[in-house]
Structure formats: C-alpha cells, structure tokens
Amino acid sequence: EAGVVQSPRYKIIEKKQPVAFWCNPISGHNTLYWYLQNLGQGPELLIRYENEEAVDDSQLPKDRFSAERLKGVDSTLKIQPAELGDSAVYLCASSSGLPNTEAFFGQGTRLTVV
Amino acid sequence: RKEVEQDPGPFNVPEGATVAFNCTYSNSASQSFFWYRQDCRKEPKLLMSVYSSGNEDGRFTAQLNRASQYISLLIRDSKLSDSATYLCVVCSGYSTLTFGKGTMLLVSP
C-alpha cells in the first residue's frame, strides 16, 4: 500500500516568489493535515481537513498561505509571496479518523527561501 | 504555558541503559496520547499509543497520568538504533494532534 506522497522533496526559491506543495494521502483517509516543522522543533499544525472541508485553519497565516483539498483527496498548500522565515519542512499527514488511529506522514518538502 | 511540553535533551546514554522521558500537557480534555519517533531528516512515525492503563511493546513502556496530565515513555536495554527524537503527541477534539518539541536520545556504544 502506498504511503502519503508529497512533492517536491526539496524546493529553493527567492523571497517574494510563490511556491506550492502537493500531497496525496493514503487512499481512504478522510483526514489530512499540513504541518510545518522548523529545525529542533516539533511539527506545528497549519491546517486540518476532514474530506474537503478545512475544519481547523486557525494557525494558517492567511495573508500569504492558502490550501485546498478538491474532491477530498489530494491537497495543495501554497505560499505567496514567500518570506525568508518560511524556510522549513512542510509535512503532510493523513488519518482514517482519530482519536484511536495513527496519523501517517509523508516525507515532507524542505523549503529554502533565499 | 505550551500545550505539550517535553525536555529537549539530548539524553546521552550507553547501550543497555534504561532511559525515561516525560511529557506534560495543558488541555485536561485531551483524549488520546501517542509517542512518535523521528529520525534525523525523516518524517515522524508512530512508536506507540498511550493508554490509561499503561501499555508495553517489547522494550518500550508508556504510561499516562490523567490527574497530573503527564505521559511517560520508558526504554529498557537501549540499542544504538534507538537514537532518535521522541515526540509526545496529544489529541484533543476529534482529530486535533498537537506535538511537543521532541526529546533527543543519543545511545552510544
């Protein structure tokens, strides 16, 4: 069974440029998360989807970040314009439904803004 | 106060040692608890869920104390391959997963 797939694995962009990350969750998983992880820190939630509905986006900086999950399957996270401080690893995870099942993570996209 | 707090370490232990990590959480309504393991430059992976009665998986034992709002992880007979960062995770509400900063473990020969 395929796990959570993210692309690209690495991205280097100049500040003020736009960037997009893509995530394909495990088949059948209704819950999809986007997390941001800085070096030496734990993952921090950006947004959580239940099917196509964003049910928790309170930590998403909406002035520059946007996300969508059309048809409740794969998802895209966008940053426009990117800032130096956005350099981090962006992790996507999916779950069949908590609280008693685990969340599976993709390998992440490592973003460097220069 | 942060929602989930962990000692960042690093914990440096020799092979064969027993090591314990603690984690505290602030939301008394939290429902589920997990320990994840994260290797350097890799994604987090579930190590074990934590149940109220405590649970054991081989060399790993997890405990939950709801009254004091803390979770623990005990690793017995440490192996070199146990070197990683251990993330405490708390689930509040239907699916809101909150991670601690992680505790780094370094096991040396």
Q: pLDDT (tens digit, 9 = 90+) per residue, B31-65?
A: 889 999 999 999 999 999 998 888 999 999 999 99
Listed in sequence order, the DSSP H helices in chain A are: none
Measured between alpha carbons, how far is B7 from B96 in angstroms, rounded to an integer? 22
- Is the pLDDT reported for residue A24 higher than 90? yes
CB contact under 8 A, A45 and B49: no
Q: Nearest CB to B43: which of A98, A100, A107? A: A107
How many CB contacts within 8 angstroms connect chain A with chain B?
A: 57
User: What average pLDDT does this structure show over A65-76?
Assistant: 94
Residue B34 touches partner A, C-beta closer than 8 Å: yes
Q: pLDDT (tens digit, 9 = 90+) per residue, A72-105?
A: 899 999 999 999 999 999 999 999 876 556 899 9
pLDDT of residue A71: 87
Chain A positions touching B103 (Cβ under 8 A) are none
Q: Are A35 and A44 in contact (CB under 8 A)?
A: yes
Q: Nearest CB to B101: which of A41, A56, A99? A: A41
Q: Are B78 and B15 in contact (CB under 8 A)?
A: yes
Measured between alpha carbons, how far is A33 from B89 in angstroms, rounded to an integer? 14
Residue of A42, A54, A51 whose CA lies nearest to A89 = A42
pLDDT of residue B34: 94
Radius of gyration of chain B (CA): 13
Q: Nearest CB to A105: which of B4, B44, B49? A: B44
CB contact under 8 A, B97 and A103: yes
Q: Are A102 and B34 in contact (CB under 8 A)?
A: yes
